[in-house]
Amino acid sequence: MRLVKIYDTTLRDGAQAEDVAFSVDDKVKIAKKLDALGVHYIEGGWPGANPKDSKFFKGIKSSQFNIAKLVAFGSTRRSGKTPENDEQIKALLDAKTDALTIVGKSWDIHVTQALGIELAENLDMIYDTFAYLKGKTGELFFDAEHFFDGFKANPDFALATLKKAEDAGVDCLVLCDTNGGVMPWELEKIIERVKSEVKTPFGIHCHNDNGLGLANTLAAVQMGAVQAQGTINGMGERCGNTDICSIIPNLKIKMDIECISDRQMGKLKEVSRFVDEMANRVPNKHNPYVGDSAFAHKGGIHASAVAKNPLTYEHINPSLVGNKQRILVSDQSGLSNIKFKAKQFGIDLTSEEEGAKELVKNVKDLEEKGYQFEGADASFELLMNRTLGRYKPYFRLRGFRIIVERRQTDIEPLSEATVMIDVDGRIEHTAANGNGPVNALDNAIRKALMKFYPELADMKLLDYKVRVLTTENATAATVRVLIESGDNEESWETVGVHENIIQASWTALVDSIEYKLYKDEKKRQAISQ
């Protein structure tokens, strides 16, 4: 089977994305994850270009990679200097990596306008740099920057840059669509010409400015590229780079081309999430293959068909990339969605047709009011058990009151919540302060319940989101509150909707606490059995 090597540039090109700033420690952790994923090359950055990259290459020397080769990135020698006297060339060698990638200009306007030198000198810079580095490192790669735009403007010069690198002994010629604007049929014609002019193996590096980065990358591989470059989650400057999380499964599953092992591909979603976490970015749930919505089914017809045969609406088995099938519950749900979802919670509704129909009606009625159960599985499981008469509440509200007081302009407002709760006929009346009214209410509920349910000490609120649903009503609008809570073992989401944000928050908070108690009780029952 043909092998294409995966070259990851998340730590350099990906780090150039807007709002992304990896620390040195972040980069080391990501590099280890990429090695576990099985990528062949990890581009760590540009040594000497900034203190962070220099520290990374010093710090990473103590780390052992099982598969990946560490690559340092730099440019051809500067105009008027020899490689021996160029400080950035020296910094590349001092990094002592397994391979070096050198970027050089292949578009004539970048040579004459950006660098302000003659085309002949640029060709000398390419040759001199690679000739000097040959034998001083493991592998040498030439990133032909703006190659496709350069070829369209001046094909003879663009090809001459490749030939100079080839003459100097480079191991791979990487054709770069740096502006991300080439069309697939243009790319194919240009690569045909490249293959007729040079014999050195070539790779592909595409940006995604026209939305075709992946298409162009796969087209290049189809035409013989031995190396495919990209970043995790397509992270990168402007519109990003080709997404490695799409490159890998397309190569392996769709094109029958080897790159990483099946076991390693099963870690793809895990690595995708990890890199987003390090970048402090919210994962895009609609990303192909690894997004939460990639194998999510909302329409009743879809859910019914998938329950019978996943192939009806899933192009691959989601477990191949570490993902999973999800059946969503919404106002578009039918009995199939509800039954499938209930089965995931261990409840068989086959013999409870009337209860299932009532549950569908309740879901549709609540979603009309603004509820959304797609991202609130915990609230849905509680609703399901309540509808089917399988649920006994752990406590009842007798009442609550919240006071927000600000006594002076230079002092933060004080929030205090008082709650009265009934637990099996025992009344607990208590109060607590908080950073805001919702936090005070949360603290008061927990304080009241802790003596009855000490396990709540393990629970914490992870996220709190508010969305305005009826903007035309201004500050009197209906709002939806989504709360994510967690304990030492897992996390769960709950939802509340009301015109009063405190009431909406109360509903979501109570569901969150009740779900914690409910799941712990289920676990105890399972152990006792």
Assess whether 48 and 79 both reside in one domain: yes
Most confident by average pLDDT, 100-104, 331-335, 461-465, 514-518: 100-104
Sheet strands side by side (includes 479-486)? 460-468, 479-486, 491-498
Closest by CA to 34, choosing from 307, 309, 215, 229, is: 229
How does residue 385 score in pLDDT terms, banded at 50, 70 and 90?
Answer: confident
19-54 burial, b at 16+ Cβ within 10 Å, e below that, comes to ebebebebbbbbbbbbbbbbbbbbbbbbbbeeeebb
Assess whether 134 and 267 both reside in one domain: yes
How does residue 386 score in pLDDT terms, banded at 50, 70 and 90?
Answer: confident
pLDDT cut 90: percent of the chain above it: 68
Domain boundary among 435, 452, 469: 452
Assess whether 159 and 120 both reside in one domain: yes
How does residue 300 score in pLDDT terms, banded at 50, 70 and 90?
Answer: low
Q: Please determine, for residue 391, whether its predicted confidence score (pLDDT) is greater than 70.
A: yes
Each residue's pLDDT tens digit, 443-494 = 999 999 999 999 999 998 888 888 888 767 676 788 999 999 999 888 999 9
> Please, are residues 257 and 3 in contact by the beta-carbon 8 Å criterion?
yes
Each residue's pLDDT tens digit, 125-141 = 999 999 999 999 999 99
- Distance, CA of 201 to CA of 106 (rounded, Å): 17
How does residue 430 score in pLDDT terms, banded at 50, 70 and 90?
Answer: very high
Assess whether 370 and 402 both reside in one domain: no
Poorest-pLDDT segment among 89-98, 415-424, 477-486: 477-486
Domain boundary among 363, 385, 407: 385
Assess whether 43 and 118 both reside in one domain: yes
Q: Please determine, for residue 368, whether its predicted confidence score (pLDDT) is greater than 80.
A: no
Domain boundary among 339, 362, 385: 385
- Taking residues 41-70, report their average pLDDT: 93
Assess whether 101 and 117 both reside in one domain: yes
Confidence at residue 329, expressed as pLDDT on a 0 to 100 scale: 64
Assess whether 164 and 147 both reside in one domain: yes
Torsion of Cα atoms, 310 then 315 then 319 then 325, to 10°: -50
Each residue's pLDDT tens digit, 227-259 = 999 999 999 999 999 999 999 999 999 999 999
Q: Please determine, for residue 333, whether its predicted confidence score (pLDDT) is greater than 60.
A: no
Assess whether 473 and 331 both reside in one domain: no
Q: What is the CATH number of the domain that holds 16?
A: 3.20.20.70
- Helix 184-197 and helix 213-222, axial crossing angle in degrees, nearest 10: 30
Burial (CB < 10 A; 0-12, 13-18, 19+), residue 183, is middle
- Domain membership of residue 193 (yes or no) is yes
Instruction: Please name the amino acid found at residue 303.
Output: A
Q: Please determine, for residue 152, whether its predicted confidence score (pLDDT) is greater than 90.
A: yes
Going by their DSSP bridges, the two strands 396-405 and 414-423 should be labelled as antiparallel
Each residue's pLDDT tens digit, 171-199 = 999 999 999 999 999 999 999 999 999 99
Q: What is the CATH number of the domain that holds 407?
A: 3.30.160.740
- Distance, CA of 480 to CA of 502 (rounded, Å): 11
- Distance, CA of 220 to CA of 217 (rounded, Å): 5
Poorest-pLDDT segment among 64-78, 391-405, 474-488: 474-488
Q: How many CA atoms lie within 13 A of 48 on its CB side?
A: 14
Poorest-pLDDT segment among 32-41, 113-122, 351-360, 463-472: 351-360
Q: What are the residues whose beta carbons fall under 8 Å from the beta carbon of 519, sequence distance 6 or more?
A: 492
- Domain membership of residue 291 (yes or no) is no
- Domain membership of residue 361 (yes or no) is yes
Assess whether 130 and 46 both reside in one domain: yes
In 3-state terms, what secondary structure has residue 409? Answer: coil
- Domain membership of residue 30 (yes or no) is yes
Assess whether 151 and 46 both reside in one domain: yes
Q: Please determine, for residue 334, whether its predicted confidence score (pLDDT) is greater than 70.
A: no
| CA-based radius of gyration for the chain | 29
- Taking residues 78-85, report their average pLDDT: 95
Confidence at residue 354, expressed as pLDDT on a 0 to 100 scale: 79
Confidence at residue 351, expressed as pLDDT on a 0 to 100 scale: 66
> Please, are residues 3 and 42 in contact by the beta-carbon 8 Å criterion?
no
Bigger pLDDT: 271 vs 365: 271
Assess whether 195 and 171 both reside in one domain: yes
Number of structural domains found in the chain: 4
> Please, are residues 182 and 153 in contact by the beta-carbon 8 Å criterion?
no
pLDDT cut 70: percent of the chain above it: 95
In 3-state terms, what secondary structure has residue 411? Answer: coil
Domain that holds residue 307: 296-385
Bigger pLDDT: 327 vs 79: 79
Poorest-pLDDT segment among 271-275, 416-420, 487-491: 487-491
Confidence at residue 371, expressed as pLDDT on a 0 to 100 scale: 81
Poorest-pLDDT segment among 89-103, 164-178, 374-388: 374-388
In 3-state terms, what secondary structure has residue 518? Answer: helix
- Domain membership of residue 338 (yes or no) is yes
The pLDDT mean for the chain works out to 91
Q: What are the residues whose beta carbons fall under 8 Å from the beta carbon of 462, sequence distance 6 or more?
A: 484, 485, 486, 491
Assess whether 378 and 421 both reside in one domain: no
- Domain membership of residue 240 (yes or no) is yes
Q: Which two tokens stand for residue 227?
A: 């190396």
- Domain membership of residue 287 (yes or no) is no
